Homo-oligomer: A and B are copies of this chain.
């Protein structure tokens, strides 16, 4: 199976296209890296770049992009609506195929160490790569944002995982981590009653007694007159898509409501599709290598 890591770094620049292009070019210049997407948000003054490849190529591209961002972005001049603490703000590595989460944790740590050493930028490891429980959650790592960094770095408890605890005024600090692929998934209900969608969201999400790895809220699709359970599934290996759908059906039945349709927003790794098929068809002894295209292409 072809080794494939996805990297989705966020940069604190969404208003100067030449800067964003320069960062994207730094990524594309690395042999073996495939750029999938990039987009900028003016209000957030922030850009997201998505690329894939083997771990060596992806680690190299992430490093070069961080270096280019440090060269072209001065955090003293940055303002925007999204929490941030550095020019290269967050760099997550995501295992897609042919390597484990542990491999991505290692990649996050080696890349973070290199960014700190060669670029002089404090690096905090987060999510699966975190070295302490209180640093798993990115929101906690980034609390206080760029503006609090100088003070934080004076506090030995808040020392970065890599790099001297010395404030880099221009580049700020970078969070480097490893995480599962995130699946954005919505279930549309045969009701226009938002309260029902909200009750179902509460019932099925991790925060309020439901399934782990599920973030959910109820929203109303006014034009379709349908209430929707809108979700982020953060670990479909442990908590597969089909389990979420079946639990929603079960909770909805209580209100006499059925599922009208569902939607996957953006991309989904093949293995999560195969897991759903294997569940519903009750497939026994099914190997993912039985998918013809998988045998041929990767």
CA distance in complex: A290, B36 (Å): 12
Q: In the complex, which of the residues B261, B264, B283, B292 contacts A263, with contact meaning CB atoms closer than 8 Å?
A: B283
A181 vs B276: C-alpha distance when bound (angstroms): 22
Closest CB in chain B relative to A251 CB, distance in Å? 16
Q: Does A2 contact B (CB under 8 A)?
A: yes
Give the residues in chain B near A259, CB-CB below 8 Å: 282
- One of B36, B260, B281, B284 near A296 (C-beta < 8 A): B36
A281 pairs with B188, CB closer than 8 A: no
Q: Interface on chain A toward B: helix, strand, loop, or mixed SS?
A: mixed
User: Is A297 at the interface (CB under 8 A from chain B)?
Assistant: yes
Write the chain B residue with the least CB distance to A34. B296
Encoded as 1 (CB less than 8 Å from any B CB) or 0, chain A from 275 to 296 comes to: 0110011111110001111111
CA distance A277 to B280 in the complex (A): 8
Beta-carbon nearest neighbor of A187 in chain B: B282
Cβ of A266 within 8 Å of any chain B Cβ, yes or no, is yes
Contact among B6, B188, B281 for A276, CB-based, below 8 A: B281
Q: Is A242 an interface residue (CB 8 A)?
A: yes
Contact A260 B274 (CB under 8 A): no
Which of chain B's residues have a CB closer than 8 A to the CB of A34? 296
Contact A96 B284 (CB under 8 A): no
Using a CB-CB cutoff of 8 Å, which residues 218-264 of chain A contact chain B? 241-242, 245, 259-264
**B280 engages A293 (CB within 8 Å):** no
Q: Which residue of B lies closest to A269 (CB)?
A: B292
Of the candidates B242, B260, B274, B283, which one forms a contact with A261 in the assembled complex, judged by CB atoms under 8 Å apart?
B283
How far is B268's CA from A277's CA once the two chains are assembled, in angstroms? 12
* A267 lies within 8 A of B280 (CB): no
Tell whether, in the assembled complex, residue B274 and residue A242 are in contact, meaning their CB atoms are under 8 Å apart.
Answer: no
B242 close to A280 (CB less than 8 A): yes
Most interface-central of A242, A261, A274, A296 (chain B CB within 10 A): A296
A97 interface residue, CB < 8 Å from B?
yes
A2 contacts across to B, CB distance below 8 A: 297
Among candidates B52, B264, B285, B291, residue contacting A270 with C-beta atoms closer than 8 Å:
B291
Docked CA distance A180–B249 (Å): 35
Scan A145-186; emit 1 where CB is below 8 A from any B CB, else 0: 000000000000000000000000000000000000100000
Return the chain B residue nearest A94 by Cβ. B292
How would residues 48 to 78 of chain A score, 1 for a CB under 8 Å from any chain B CB and 0 otherwise? 0000100000000000000000000000000
Q: Is the CB of A264 within 8 A of B241?
A: no
In the A-B complex, the 7 residue pairs with the smallest Cβ-Cβ separation, listed nearest first, are A261-B284, A280-B280, A297-B297, A267-B292, A297-B298, A270-B293, A276-B277
